Chains A and B, each alone.
Chain A
Amino acid sequence: MKSKSVQTLKGIILIISLSLLILIILAFLLSNEPLKTLNAIFLGPFSNLYFFGNTINSMIPLIFGGLGILVALRCGLMNLGGEGQIYAGGLATTLVALKFMPLGYISIVIGLLVGFIVAALISGLSGVFKVKWNTSELITTYLVSAVFIFITNYLISSPFKDPQTNLIATRKLQYMLHTILNPSLLTTGIFYAIIAVIIINHYLNNSRLGYANRLVGYNKEFARYGGISINKTYMIAMLVSGGLHGLAGGFAIVGTYGSAIKSFSGGMGWNSIAISLIALNNPLGIIPAAFFFAWINQGTLIAMQSTNITSDITLIVQSCILFLTTSVVLLGDNK
């Protein structure tokens, strides 16, 4: 057991090193000032309080999204609809929080709650298809999400667009989470994200529902013999998975953006999958994994401002990690 976890840890270190190596090679290939670029990528996020706070801040939606994927994966399900669930959940949070604005900070709570429910229903729809007719959730989550991305685009750019601004965005919230590291964007959201990690960790490891969730993912037939309802477990996993994505979008709004801006969630869903995989299905691993992604993402953004490189190089790092993290050869069998 021990040697297996050592192998796994070695594997993860190898994967991260390989991905960083590719990032370095790309910087040398693409930038005319590779050292300046690399300096900006790796040290930029730590160079001052502003960048550091922003890096930690961008972890918040990634943690929620990563947890969302993890809950589904632990049940043996794949949720490829994160992008749409985060986006629609974020819009729902914004609209509801705007509606309940007179209630002050309570509007944020109601907004997040509705964001959770909306996204849970979106992914729950794929859960229903799966449970009732055994339709592959892999494809339906993606398709449902694609539909909701366009619907959300439409809602943001037409009926709910704020005529006061040039951005394609809704009206701005008056009440948002408090910032804690001025002048950076970091908010109290990070504490809620950490609380969510603790709750999900407890849920998956110590609760009855979480036990069912794990058992169904591990061995469906065995779970069935044990009297666990597979269908019910699938449904709960899909609902919780979607709901957490909704919170990812919601917290991005009430923490950082303040209004639902068109395509604000671009890429968060795919990032979440990579984060959940690199966390090796362990909720506590989500925090360092999200930090790694936030660091690289923020670093390339800083590099893009100061040198001639596009932040799209993070896509390469992300795909590299996805390529490697399910490797049985590198990590051993992690079921």
Chain B
Amino acid sequence: MSSIINNILNILTPILLIATGALITDKAGSLNIALEGLVTISALFSIIGASISHSILIGTIFGIISAMILSYILSTLTSKLKANIFITGLATNLLATGICSIITFSIYGTRGLVTFKNLVQIHKIHLFTIDISLFFLLAILLLLITQVMLNNSALGLRIRACGEDPHALKSYGISRTKIKLISFMLSGFFCGIAGSYLSLNLGSYVPGISAGKGWIGLVVIYLAGSNIKYLIPAALAFAIAEAMSIYFQGITNLPPDIVLAIPSLFTLIVMVIVSIIIHNKNLIKR
């Protein structure tokens, strides 16, 4: 039982971080498709940083910086070029994959798995038989901070105005581009921590390490109705589903490829069910 709970917490941590960051861009009025790429690049840079410095903290900072630089590039180029944010987001994912495999190929001579020795373990608090990592506590803390920031701070108000009523923002003389940039950088910050957790917890970097978590992050927001209060239960639903699929893989003989398909399938089903509910609600309103 405790292993299932550990698994759930392990999966919940990155999803929650990614979704919190993506919620900020969502509030600012754009869908961040690049989450997957931001997580991937941070996963690689943080583990490189950690193996050089022998410090989880410095590794994480490496990861955060790399993801924030990438989201800065994404946001600035998109607004400077007046490009379509979906396509540039897609481009960012490809760019991250490309950069990571070029780096692993030229430094470590492989395009596949890179394992690092002498890594420091992520610190965990043992509560009875459950391990709670500092990253999980950080994710919860940052979620609360984000909630306060969005609801009670000037920046939060501006971010929400940017998404809901850009004209109001403009009439206050605040640049929409700037607020969007801030929201993307914050999203990069969160993806950076999530990426660090993924690779540092695993002790290695593999291509595709984000494994669809960026997309799950988007659907979590959708499931929570873009309401930060429902972010934890929504993310928890996905974490439980994925943990269950790992559990069932152990007790049944499902082929691994089919098990790997379960998270996407579950995400899809949730996405469709939520849109049915929203659709029906709108029908009643009319």
List A residues at the B interface (Cβ < 8 Å): 26, 30, 78, 80, 129, 132-136, 138-140, 142-144, 146-147, 150-151, 153-154, 157-158, 270, 273, 277, 310, 312-316, 318-330
Q: Determine if B148 is an interface residue (Cβ-Cβ < 8 Å).
A: no
Instruction: Report the bound CA distance from A80 to B212 in whole Å.
Output: 14
Contact of A78 among B77, B86, B93, B94 (CB under 8 A): B86
Stretch at the interface among B133-141, B154-162, B254-262: B254-262
Task: Among B94, B99, B276, point to the contact of A318 (Cβ < 8 A).
Answer: B94
The answer to whether B257 and A150 touch across the interface, beta carbons within 8 angstroms, is: yes
- Number of B residues with CB within 8 Å of any CB on chain A: 45
Enumerate chain B interface residues (CB-CB to A < 8 A).
31, 33, 77, 80-84, 86-88, 90-95, 97-99, 101-102, 105-106, 111, 212, 215, 218-219, 222, 255, 257-258, 260-261, 264-265, 267-268, 271-272, 275-276, 278-279
| Bound form: Cα–Cα A230–B251 in Å | 47
Known: A277-B87, A312-B102, A326-B83. A142 touches B215 (CB 8 A): yes
Contact partner of B264 (CB less than 8 A), chosen from A150, A277, A312, is A150
Q: Which residues of chain A are within 8 angstroms of B257 by Cβ–Cβ distance? A: 150-151, 153-154, 157-158
B94 and A319 within 8 A (CB): yes
**CB < 8 Å A-B pair total:** 134
Q: With A327-B82, A328-B81 as given contacts, are A322 and B91 in contact (CB-CB < 8 Å)?
A: yes
* Chain A residue contacts of B101, Cβ below 8 A: 310, 312, 315
Residues of A within 8 A of B267 (CB): 143
Residue of B105, B258, B272 near A312 (CB, 8 A) is: B105
Determine if B105 and A139 form an interchain contact, defined as CB atoms under 8 angstroms apart. no
Residue of B nearest to A313 (CB): B102
CB-based nearest A residue for B94: A319
CA distance A109 to B77 in the complex (A): 45
Residues in B whose Cβ lies below 8 Å from that of A313: 98, 102
- B261 touches which of A146, A158, A322, A326 (Cβ 8 Å): A146
Taking the nearest CB of chain A, how far is it from the CB of B87, in angstroms?
5
Closest 7 CB pairs of A and B: A315-B98, A322-B91, A150-B261, A327-B81, A154-B257, A326-B84, A319-B95
- A329: chain B residues at CB < 8 Å are 80-82
Contact partners of B88 in chain A: CB under 8 A: 322-323, 326
* Whole-angstrom CA separation of A144 from B106 in the bound complex: 34
Shortest beta-carbon distance from A52 to chain B in Å: 26
In the complex where A157-B257, A312-B111, A319-B95 touch, is A139 in contact with B102 (Cβ < 8 A)?
A: no
**Residue in contact with B111 in the complex, picked from A139, A310, A321, CB distance below 8 Å:** A310
Q: A150-B257, A323-B87, A325-B87 are known contacts; what are 20 more A-B pairs with Cβ within 8 Å?
A: A30-B106, A132-B279, A134-B278, A138-B33, A138-B86, A140-B268, A143-B264, A143-B271, A146-B264, A150-B261, A273-B87, A277-B87, A310-B101, A312-B101, A323-B83, A324-B83, A326-B87, A326-B88, A327-B82, A329-B82
CA distance A26 to B101 in the complex (A): 13
* Cα separation A125 to B275 with both chains bound (whole Å): 15
Cβ of A329 to closest chain B Cβ, rounded Å: 5
Which residues on the A side are within 8 Å of B258 (C-beta)?
150-151, 154
Contacts of B92 in A (CB 8 A): 319
Closest B residue, CB atoms, query A80: B90
B105 and A310 contact, CB distance less than 8 A: yes
**B257–chain A nearest beta-carbon distance, Å:** 4
Docked Cα-Cα span, A320 to B102, in Å, equals: 15
* Residue of B31, B212, B272, B278 touching A146 (CB-CB under 8 A): B212
Q: 8 A-B residue contacts at CB 8 Å?
A: A135-B271, A138-B31, A143-B268, A146-B215, A146-B261, A153-B257, A316-B102, A326-B84
Query: Smallest CB-CB separation from A325: which chain B residue?
Result: B87
**Smallest beta-carbon distance B272→chain A, Å:** 6
Please, which residues of chain B bring their CB within 8 A of the CB of A26?
A: 102
**B83–A147 CB distance below 8 A:** no
> Do residues B94 and A133 form an inter-chain contact, with CB atoms below 8 A?
no
Contact B279 A134 (CB under 8 A): yes
A166 vs chain B, min Cβ distance (A): 19
Assuming A146-B212, A315-B97, is B77 touching A133 (CB within 8 A)? no
Cα A153 to Cα B208 with chains together (Å): 16
Give the complex CA separation of A129 and B218 in angstroms.
17
Q: Which residues of B contact A129 (CB under 8 A)?
A: 272, 275
Chain A residues with Cβ below 8 Å from B212 are 146
